[in-house]
Amino acid sequence: MSTCPDQDLYSAYVDGEVPSPWKEKLEAHASKCPTCRRAVERFASVSALVRSGVPELSGDQLEASFARLSARAVPASASPRAARQLPDWFRASISVPLPALAAVFLAAVIVPSLIVARASSSRDAYLAATPAPIIQAVLADEESFRTSAVYSPDLPEVTAAALTSANRSIFRVVDFANQYARTASDESAEVIVIKLPRLARFGLDDGHAAEADGVINAVNWNEAAGPGR
Amino acid sequence: MLNNDGWLDSNDEAHFKAIYLATMPVLFKIAIRIAGNEEAAEDLCHDCLIKMREKAMRFPTANDAKYWLIRVVKNASLNYAKRKTRERRAYERALKEDHRKSDSGETELLKGDAVKRVQDALERLPENLRAVVQLKEYGELNYKEIGRVLGITEGNVKVRVFRAREQLAKMIGEDDVYLP
């Protein structure tokens, strides 16, 4: 009794889903074992019961149904919905008036190129329109910015010393603030308030976050700590 | 008849007819068993064939068309059956009709008591088991094809068919199983 194959094998057997060497073995066993024979019969009759009583379409019905379907289904090329589909639209030749084409060309090619040209020339224009001493200052500033090492709080002392001896100044946060601060600042600024753009909410204080839009303020310590302190 | 690449084009008249003849009997059986009424079943099948045409679907073989259509017809029929049940319940609630009365209307196409009991039992099966049995017995698909339609493995199909039959046999009653 315990050597009987699993019942689910007989279910698959009824469906003809057991491949050849095993199929014969199942049949041989079922012919000797009444329990297993009963299982096969049970699965087969459940299957037959489920199948029975299903109305089937005869050949005539099939043709009649196709006629009804054809009446409903206008071929794709003739139906209004298909006419709007991409392939037909794509293949159709389109006539575009010349002025419209010129306008598109103007908007798509000339205007962007003008903007790009203006952007690249803005620096030269700025230098040309600015008095000489200021230009010197700006250029010197740029130079120092380029040669300075970027400040890092964990910069090893040895590295910092090496950089200074190589004539490269350490670029500190204060320097950064002095260059880019929106409010006026002087060399003595000791406190720098950097308001980050509101990319994420860092705290629960919504009122504060609302006004922060990426402003750097260099504040003189004495002024900032004034009366409130 | 075939295109240069050998694919079946649903917008080609001859191909469409070929797909129809190859799939309609099976589609109809599935639809009628799920939707429960002949006219609705035919309409549902037609809808799906038209949808195939509108989408300008192309298939490498008629079997691929069959898998696609069976999946679409099955889902459309299930939606239809759900909607119908909902509507019937709503009417019953509104009109305070007797539930058994509306049931008897559906049974006229079911011949014989055992057959009706099997269908009732099938209704009570969980959805995942029922779908497998419907595709097996009405869709006339093998385990591999059922797995493809439902997105499960062949082994899983085998187990589900087995469990579904076990449960059906229990629901029908062991003695009645051997009747036909």
Q: Please give the sequence-ordered ranges of beta strands (E in DSSP) within A38-190, or none if there are none.
A: 149-150, 170-171
The yes-or-no verdict on residue B114 having pLDDT over 80 is no
Q: Is the dihedral of CA A184, A222, A195, A173 positive or negative?
A: positive
| Residue among A131, B22, A194, B9 nearest A139 (CA) | A131
Query: Could you say which of B68, B86, B104 is where a domain stops?
Result: B104
| A154-177 as b/e: b if 16+ CB within 10 A | eeeeeeeeebeeeeeebbeebebb
Cβ atoms A141, A152 nearer than 8 A: no
Q: Give the structural domain span for B65.
A: 1-104
Q: Is B179 a member of any domain?
A: no
Q: How far is A127 from A86, CA to CA, in rounded Å?
A: 54
> In the block, which residue shows the tokens 């094809």?
B145
> In the block, which residue shows the tokens 């400040």?
A151
> In the block, which residue shows the tokens 């997105």?
B151
Residue A95 vs residue A153, higher pLDDT: A95
Residue A55 vs residue A67, higher pLDDT: A67
Q: Is B180 a member of any domain?
A: no
B141 & B95 share domain: no
Q: Is B161 a member of any domain?
A: yes
Residue B93 vs residue A212, higher pLDDT: B93
Q: Is B122 a member of any domain?
A: yes
**Is A73 in Cβ contact with B138 (below 8 Å)?**
no
Name the burial class of residue A29, with classes exposed (0-12), middle (13-18) and buried (19+) by CB atoms within 10 angstroms of its CB: middle
If you count them, how many residues does chain B have?
Answer: 180
pLDDT of residue A212: 45
pLDDT of residue A93: 62
Encode pLDDT of A143-195 as tens digits.
Answer: 655 555 555 555 666 666 776 676 666 666 666 666 666 565 555 656 666 66
B21 & B78 share domain: yes
What percentage of chain B carries pLDDT values higher than 70?
Answer: 83
- Please tell me which residue of chain B has the smallest CA distance to A82: B54
Q: How far is B170 from B129, CA to CA, in rounded Å?
A: 14
**0.90 exceeded by pTM:** no
Q: Is B178 a member of any domain?
A: no
Q: What is the rounded average pLDDT of the residues B109-113?
A: 52
What is the CATH number for B18? 1.10.1740
**Is A47 in Cβ contact with B177 (below 8 Å)?**
no
Query: Could you say which of B67, B83, B104 is where a domain stops?
Result: B104
Question: Predicted confidence band at A115 (pLDDT cuts at 50, 70, 90)?
Answer: confident
What percentage of chain A carries pLDDT values higher than 90?
Answer: 0
pLDDT of residue B57: 84
Question: Predicted confidence band at B157 (pLDDT cuts at 50, 70, 90)?
Answer: very high
Q: What is the rounded average pLDDT of the residues B141-164?
A: 90
Query: Could you say which of B78, B104, B130 is where a domain stops?
Result: B104
Q: Is B100 a member of any domain?
A: yes
Question: Predicted confidence band at A75 (pLDDT cuts at 50, 70, 90)?
Answer: low
HSE, side-chain direction, 13 A CA sphere, residue B155:
0
Question: Predicted confidence band at B163 (pLDDT cuts at 50, 70, 90)?
Answer: very high
pLDDT of residue B76: 92
Q: Which of B17, B109, B118 sits opposite A55 (nearest CB)?
A: B109
What is the CATH number for B128? 1.10.10.10
**Nearest-neighbour CA in chain A from B94: distance (Å):** 33
**Is B56 in Cβ contact with A76 (below 8 Å)?**
yes
A210 contacts: CB under 8 Å, gap ≥ 6: A198
Give the best-scoring range by mean pLDDT among A66-75, A128-137, A145-154, B20-29: B20-29
A12 and chain B in contact, CB less than 8 A:
yes
Q: Which of A10, A47, A57 has the highest number of chain B CBs within 10 A, making it the mutation to test binding with B?
A: A57
Mean pLDDT of chain A: 68
How many folded domains does chain B comprise?
2
ipTM comes to 0.72
What percentage of chain B carries pLDDT values higher than 90?
Answer: 13
B125 & B139 share domain: yes
Question: Predicted confidence band at B120 (pLDDT cuts at 50, 70, 90)?
Answer: confident
* Number of neighbouring beta carbons within 10 Å of residue B57: 17
B124 & B94 share domain: no
Q: Is the dihedral of CA A62, A64, A68, A71 positive or negative?
A: positive
